[in-house]
Amino acid sequence: MNSIIKTEKLEFSYFGADDSEPKVVLQGLDLEVEKGTFVAILGHNGSGKSTPAKHFNSILLPLGGKVFVCGRDTSDEDLILEIRRRVGMVFQNPDNQIVATVVEEDVAFAPENLGYPSDEIRRRVDEALKVVGMYAFREHAPHLLSGGQKQRVAIAGVLAMEPECVVFDEPTAMLDPRGRESVVEVIRNLRDDLGVTVVLITHHMDEAIFADRIVVMSDGAIIMDGTPREVFVNETILRQAGLDVPETTALIHELRNDGFDLPLDALTVDECAQAIYNEFK
Amino acid sequence: MLKDITLGQFFPGTTIVHRLDPRIKLLLTLAYITALFLAQGVVAYALMFVVVLTCLTLSKIGPKAVFRGLKPIFIIILITVVLNIFFVHGETVLLEYRFIVITREGLYNAGFMASRLIMLIVGTFLLTYTTSPIALTDGLEQMLNPLKKIKLPIHELAMMMSIALRFIPTLIEETDKIISAQRARGADFESGSLIKRAKAIIPLIIPLFISAFRRADELATAMESRCYHGGEGRTRMKVLKAQGRDFVALLLGAGLIVVIVYLR
């Protein structure tokens, strides 16, 4: 398959400040992300779900094994800009990703670093801001925006590099429900409208149902890998991994336990409503 | 309570003074200060006064803002005036009462010193009132660019300055939050002796520092993810470009110095 990110037997451990035992996070992880797909990586806190993501653009380098981005080895110093330009990364806290005091200046940061001419930067900035719906705010000061708006500016800042893949590391963890909704919508549109490969690391099941593929991690290993329908059917395995199922799935499970015959693969709110309607009409 | 702090006290606007190239404005401010210190005699001072007044009118900065800017140095002006009146002794004695001697030269001196100070302050805050901090940083960086040849880290300094400016409101907001959190748990920041109040600041400073370090770490990672690799090979979206009006302004500034020197 045509993979954009590929890890081979990836190993990683965190070393403490003193000589204490290093904390082993990953022991030989094999993961491949296909071009143009939307992959969600699920796992509860400490499951090692963020660590591989930081390997995808050379922020962390593997202690064992290899990571390839578009066939390029991430441990090659000379390719580092090539790799970072292709795989953008959005982090949890929008405040700590915004560099400049004006929205458009911040979005321009990455293309400025890459040394594009100024009219090309202008074009990329305007386009990126339009994609995330923040064009009207281009001359605002970031600290006066809401959390969701700031996170969308941060996404625009990554999109201005015109990456092939964007990795989101719990992008909604610090947002209120409305901000989360707006950010999730932007993330979904990236794949659908721009054909950008999306890797979404999250512990919100309701965000993962939009993915093409879900990878569930626990203790640094993959315990499930499949489409949302395949994954959410296995409620017990998910609960063992410290995760919930989406609210829709939980409702259907409850109803099935009470003897109603409902399909387990009704994931979105609409599908779930339709399934219940069909059963009770 | 901390939100009221305005930094750089920039008033956004679209007047000709606002739109001048920040580099030109920096140069003009330098020229203005030079002229002010070269100025001698009533005519030169009157000319400087007209110049300041014209600039203020052009930039649409109201008298209110001017007085607010002068407030912090009011005491200094007062001391200068008093010292000059009573301690500069010239020939024409106007008033003599025991040890107090006021002379015409003393009064003159006091007047000149006070107007020089006032015009100095007004001239410099004209720069900060009409130029955004980010434009100032950009202007400084580009003006100091030649110093890169002697290995001065100009880009790094400018980047540090703009990140500091970016994070001031964020950290102020955070301080407010920590204050509220500590107050909710019974901390008292406002009563007691000076030492007691200074000690009360510690539970404020420590969490603030810890969070600032965490932010710095995350910001560095985010910047690296966005291909930041120092100033080398970096371009800018908005390139500063001096236009006709900038050259006219520069000529006027040079003209001012010439006239002031001629009036000496």
In a domain, A273, yes or no: no
Choice between B181 and B4, residue whose per-residue pLDDT is larger: B181
Spell out the residues 6+ positions from residue A87 whose beta carbon is closer than 8 angstroms to its own: A4, A5, A56, A57, A69, A163, A164, A165, A166, A167
- The alpha carbon of residue A98 is apart from the nearest alpha carbon of chain B, in Å, by 8
Angle at A125 between CA B138 and CA A97, to 5 degrees: 70
Total domain count, chain A: 1
| Residue A18 confidence (pLDDT) above 90 | no
Chains A, B: CB contacts within 8 A come to 96
Mean pLDDT, residues A145-163: 94
Packed helices B41-59 and B104-130: angle between N→C axes, nearest 10 degrees: 20
- The arithmetic mean of pLDDT across residues A257-274, rounded, is 80
- pLDDT tens for each residue of B28-51: 999 999 999 998 888 999 999 999
pLDDT at A39 over 90: yes
Q: What does pLDDT average to over chain B?
A: 86
pLDDT in tens, B51-69: 999 999 998 888 888 888 8
Residue B109 burial (CB count, 10 A):
19
pLDDT for residue A228 is more than 90:
no
Residue A208 lies in a domain: yes
Contact A122, A156 (CB under 8 A): no
Give me chain A's average pLDDT, please: 87
Residue A195 DSSP SS3: coil
Instruction: Provide the pLDDT for residue B145.
Output: 85
Q: Which pLDDT tens digit goes with each residue over A69-86?
A: 888 888 888 888 889 999
pLDDT of residue B4: 45
A contact residues 195-234, partner B, Cβ 8 Å cutoff: none
- Judge contact between A180 and A172, C-beta under 8 A: yes
Residues of A in contact with B229 (CB under 8 A): 81, 113
- Cβ distance of B215 and A95 shorter than 8 Å: yes
Q: Reduced to 3 states, what is the DSSP secondary structure of residue A145?
A: coil
Residue B240 has pLDDT above 60, yes or no: yes
Q: What is the pLDDT of residues A43-54, one digit of tens each?
A: 887 777 888 888
> What region does A115 belong to: left with phi over 0, alpha with psi -120 to 50, or beta?
left
Cβ B218–A118 below 8 Å, yes or no? no
What residues of chain B, 221 to 240, have a C-beta less than 8 Å from chain A? Answer: 221-229, 233-239
Tell me the residue range of the domain where A179 lies.
3-245
* pLDDT digit string, tens, across residues B196-206: 888 888 888 99
Asked whether the predicted pLDDT for residue A163 surpasses 90, the reply is yes
Q: What's the pLDDT band for B228 if we cut at 50, 70, 90?
A: very high
Give me the residue spans of the domains in chain B: 8-145+241-263, 155-225
B214 min Cα distance to partner chain A (Å): 9
A230: in domain: yes
Give the pLDDT band (50/70/90) at residue A249.
confident
Length of chain A: 281
Contact (CB, 8 A) for A52 and A7? yes
Question: What is the CATH classification number for the domain harbouring A24?
Answer: 3.40.50.300
Residues in chain B closer than 8 A to A100 (CB atoms): 134, 162, 166
Q: Residue B241 — very low, low, confident or very high, per pLDDT cuts 50/70/90?
A: confident
pLDDT at position B3:
47
CB A230 within 8 A of CB A267: no
Contact A69, A57 (CB under 8 A): yes
Q: How far is A272 from chain B (nearest CA, A)?
A: 39
- Within a domain: residue A211? yes
Q: Distance between CA B248 and CA B245 in Å, rounded? A: 5
**Model confidence band, residue A164 (pLDDT cutoffs 50, 70, 90):** very high
- Across the interface, whether the CB atoms of B237 and A118 are under 8 A apart is answered yes
Question: Is a pLDDT exceeding 60 seen at residue A1?
Answer: no
Structure confidence at residue A259 as a pLDDT band (50, 70, 90): confident
Mutual angle of helices B244-263 and B22-38, in 10-degree steps:
10
CB contact under 8 A, B235 and A125: no
Model confidence at B8, in pLDDT bands (50, 70, 90)?
low
Taking CB atoms and an 8 Å cutoff, what residues of chain A touch B132? 101
pLDDT by residue (tens digit) across B82-113?
A: 988 888 877 777 777 777 788 888 888 899 89
- Which of A89, A121, A142 lies closest to B225 in CB terms? A89
Q: Average of pLDDT values for B140-166?
A: 88
* Partner residue facing A57 (CB), from B218, B225, B236: B225
A251 in any annotated domain = no
Question: Is the pLDDT confidence value at B7 over 70?
Answer: no
A57 contact B CB<8A = yes
Q: Which residues of A touch B170 (CB under 8 A)?
A: 95, 143
What is the pLDDT, as a whole number, of residue B5?
A: 47
Q: A residues 114-143 near B, CB within 8 Å?
A: 114-118, 121-122, 125, 141-143
Distance CA B78, CA B110 (A): 10
Separation of alpha carbons A172 and A164, rounded Å = 22
pTM confidence score: 0.82
Cβ contact, residue pair B227, A81, below 8 Å: yes
Residue A280 lies in a domain: no
pLDDT digits (tens, 9 = 90+) for A110-137: 999 999 999 999 999 999 999 999 999 9
Residues from chain B that touch A142, judged by Cβ atoms under 8 A, are 166
Q: Which of these, B114, B89, B116, lies nearest to B102 by C-alpha position? A: B89
Interchain contact, A110 vs B226, CB within 8 Å: yes
How close, in Å, is residue A160 to chain B by CA atoms? 10
Please give the angle made by the CA atoms of A169, A252 and A276, to the nearest 5 degrees. Answer: 120
Q: What pLDDT does A270 receive? A: 82
pLDDT of residue B1: 43
